[in-house]
Chains A and B, each alone.
Chain A
Amino acid sequence: MQKKITQRGSGVTRRDFIATTSAAGVAATAFLGGKAPAFASNHKLHYLQWSSFIPDADAEIRRQVEEFSKAAGVEVTVEMINQNDMTPRITAAIESGEGADVMLLINNQPHLFANGLVDHGALMSELAGGDIYDWANGAVTVDGVARAVPLFNIGNAIVYRKDVFDELGLSAPNTWDEYLEVGRALKNNNLPVGQTLGHTFGDAPSFAYPLLWSFGGMEVDASGKVVVNSAETHQALAFAKEFWEAACDPGGLAWDDTSNNRAFLGQTIGATLNGASIYFVARRKFPDLADKLAHVNNPEGPGGRYHVIGPRSPAIMKYSEEQDAAADFIRFMFQDDNFSQFITVNSGYVQGLTPKWENHPVWDSDPALKIFSTNAKYGRSYGHAGPWNRASGEVAEKYIVVDMFARAVQGEDPKEIAAWGQKEMENVYGA
């Protein structure tokens, strides 16, 4: 027999309560699950990019967005976030099919996220033509299809204290052996070379990869076979240990991308590999120090001279419902006057990706920055000498090359380290 339960006194039965709340739930679900009311506006675009270390660069992008918005009749939302947060945002957006219409990708992210990006082939031909540097082309071309359009690069060079060099009778190093001797002298004068080998996305790989390449070591050969366990790699690792002990601040093992900036500006190191941001901050806040700074390209080794480069490439998402407006927005950023202004406000922090931008007036405006105009020609990508594909991105993301050098400077045997690197890379490449 069923029991009848009644909430006595209130006059409300449990049945009434359930019925009422169920109806309310259904109504709420219908409201929340339904589409938002349509607005009368035409097109809306959402652009996501990193927050630059150069505030004027972000201001210039906002100006361009505003101008494009007025000209095209498109309401554009621009969002600028920390570079470290970009990858999870892109991943989440592609997986959920919802997010910004255009995102500024870095390095070989077009390879990592190729399945979520539209074919940019026509746009690439129209905007970059055939002049674009090969490495920039390789960064966005996946299985023969352009998945983004490379816009600019952020170079890096060794920034050093010219006044200290002069005082100690040192010259800017041209080779790794010279850099070793320069660093030794600097360290003996309490201003060592400052270099991170921690898990940080910018400065650590920018140091480790070129050092490997310049001794002739490489992750994979041109056919994609992992060849990191080589005599050349052993030499690079052995040199790194000697260089670290003789020339470097040992604290670098714990540094992130900002640590060397602080150390240099705090005048505790005398040289470090970095973008031009140290110089810019010094120019703004410590002009006396800025006058004492100079830049030089990475040293040359038996295998050549190299820099890690990584283009920043706007890309249109497959899920975007505003792909035409997005393409127009990218065209607008590529317009000569807009991009020239972008380079100007960056004062040498960024480089264009076709040779014509090497002659931009900005490179004559400040001799301290001139070296960055030549930076791109030494550029190589993660995975060199193989293609810049998803596997090379995973090797970089796992800091395998960086950790090889971190182990070396802590005294591990180069041959054992290289064997470890070979095993881990084969695990990634699937050899």
Chain B
Amino acid sequence: MTTPQPVNAPSLWARFATSLEDQRVLGYVLMAPALLLIVIFIAYPFVLGVWMSLTDKIVGTPGTYIGLGNYERLFASDIFLTAAWNTVFFTTVATVFKAVLGMWLAVLLNRRFRFANITRASVLLPFIVPTVLSTLAWLWMFDATFSVFNWTLRWMWQMEISILGLVLKENWGFFRGPLWLGDPDLAMASVILVNVWRGLPFFAISFLAGLQTIPPDLYDAADIDGASGWKKFWHVTLPLIKPVAIVVIVFSIVVTFADFQLVYILTRGGPNNETHLLATLAYQLGMGSGNIGQGAAVALFMLPILAVVIIFQLWYLRREGVR
């Protein structure tokens, strides 16, 4: 009597390999590496951050769950409220300046002139130089005692040149010029100035790319209709560049809102917390004080605000895509 031979079942690997012939399976397999990266580097830290913000974690301890205790404590602190307001103000003003000046610069760069390419390339320099290095240079320029700006002002004073009446005659011996980083209002203005200086090239070059996609025929037609330069900008340039502008502005808002380096190097949030941003406060609490739960709560406070901005961007892009 002969026993029946067992049929050789396909190995696990062979079955997996065969299943790859199914496009749906193959799609998931191809997405898996990217998904893995997102889970490891974005989702996991995010979930961990949310969890930490709900604990009293300090460095070296796991922390215990305290619900919204960290948020309650933050809202009871004037320092946090000041930093939150500063962040909104800093982002709004800096973004408006970057958008307006960026558009202006892009329109200028879009003209034909000698050395146009070199000029366009050099405009990018502030964006290319590492932020820490360029900000250190600004720190030197804003120095309360040896500021190059103030040195120029003093030199002009000695030359008896008045600048828009901006000369202080009292205590001239100690007037070393404006306290760029010492006066609360000027400090915020200085920080915004550096942010605008650094971010302007990104706006200008992005807008320039948008401008170059606009067909010249439209301007020719506007010329024939007798449109002025302003009308051409308002009725031709602006509507056609709007999709690019929206993406650039929203992206800039997100990055500016979470800015850290400029303030950390220039003022560390001083004077009197007048330049403190949420990012620098989160660092101060989490890394400086070892109060990681509080630091995480400050950082997460940015989330709902930025989420609204991003949802608007996605909604707008989808609407434009449908059109």
Interface of A with B (CB < 8 Å)?
Answer: 2-5, 14-15, 18-19, 25, 87-88, 90-91, 94-95, 112-116, 187, 190, 192, 197-200, 249-255, 259, 262-263, 266, 268, 318, 390, 393-394, 397-400, 403, 406-407, 410, 420, 423-424, 427
Contacts and interface: CB of A to CB of B under 8 A. Distances in A.
A19 B143 CA distance: 61
Interface of B: 17-18, 20-23, 26, 29, 33, 58-61, 73, 76-79, 142-146, 173-174, 176, 179-184, 187, 267-273, 284-292
Given A249-B174, A253-B182, A390-B290, 18 more contacts: A2-B21, A3-B23, A14-B20, A15-B18, A87-B288, A90-B59, A95-B59, A190-B174, A198-B181, A199-B269, A250-B182, A254-B180, A268-B176, A390-B289, A398-B289, A399-B269, A406-B270, A410-B272
B20 A18 contact: yes
15 contacts: A3-B23, A5-B23, A15-B21, A18-B20, A88-B287, A95-B60, A253-B179, A254-B180, A255-B182, A262-B146, A318-B60, A398-B79, A400-B79, A420-B78, A427-B73
A266 B179 contact: no
Nearest to A405: B272
A186 to B, nearest CB: 11
A282 to B, nearest CB: 17
B271 A198 contact: yes
Given A251-B179, A259-B145, A424-B78, A115 B60 contact: yes
Contact of A427 (B18, B29, B76): B76
B228 to A, nearest CB: 46
A5 B21 contact: yes
Contacts of B29: 18
B187 A250 contact: no
B201 to A, nearest CB: 27
B35 to A, nearest CB: 14
Contacts of B20: 14-15, 18
B276 to A, nearest CB: 9
A187 B171 CA distance: 10
Contacts of A95: 59-60, 292
Given A2-B21, A407-B272, A262 B145 contact: yes
A187 B73 CA distance: 43
Contact of B271 (A18, A253, A262): A253
B57 to A, nearest CB: 10
Contacts of A197: 271
Contacts of A403: 270-273
Contact of B144 (A15, A91, A251): A251
B240 to A, nearest CB: 41
B146 A198 contact: no
A4 B290 contact: no
Q: 6 closest pairs, A vs B, by CB? A: A251-B144, A115-B60, A254-B182, A253-B182, A199-B270, A199-B268
A253 B73 CA distance: 29
A399 B281 CA distance: 12
Query: Which of B184, B271, B285 has most A Cβ within 10 Å?
Result: B271
Query: Which of A254, A390, A398 has most B Cβ within 10 Å?
Result: A254
A221 B317 CA distance: 59
A275 B33 CA distance: 55
Nearest to B281: A398
Nearest to B24: A2
Query: Which of A192, A198, A318, A390 has most B Cβ within 10 Å?
Result: A198
A406 B179 CA distance: 14
A18 B291 CA distance: 46
Contacts of A87: 287-288
Query: Which of B78, B179, B270 has most A Cβ within 10 Å?
Result: B270
A200 B183 contact: no
A266 B182 contact: no
Contact of A115 (B58, B78, B271): B58
Nearest to B20: A15
Contacts of A18: 17, 20, 26, 29
Query: Which of B76, B272, B284 has most A Cβ within 10 Å?
Result: B272
B272 A94 contact: no
Given A406-B270, A423-B78, A112 B59 contact: yes
A198 B268 contact: yes
Contact of A254 (B61, B179, B292): B179
Contacts of A393: 289-290
A251 B22 contact: no
A252 B182 contact: yes
A198 B78 contact: no
A318 B59 CA distance: 13
A307 to B, nearest CB: 23
B84 to A, nearest CB: 15
Contacts of A399: 269-270, 273
A390 B294 CA distance: 14
A94 B142 CA distance: 37
A427 B77 CA distance: 7
B183 A199 contact: no
Nearest to A114: B60
A285 B108 CA distance: 50
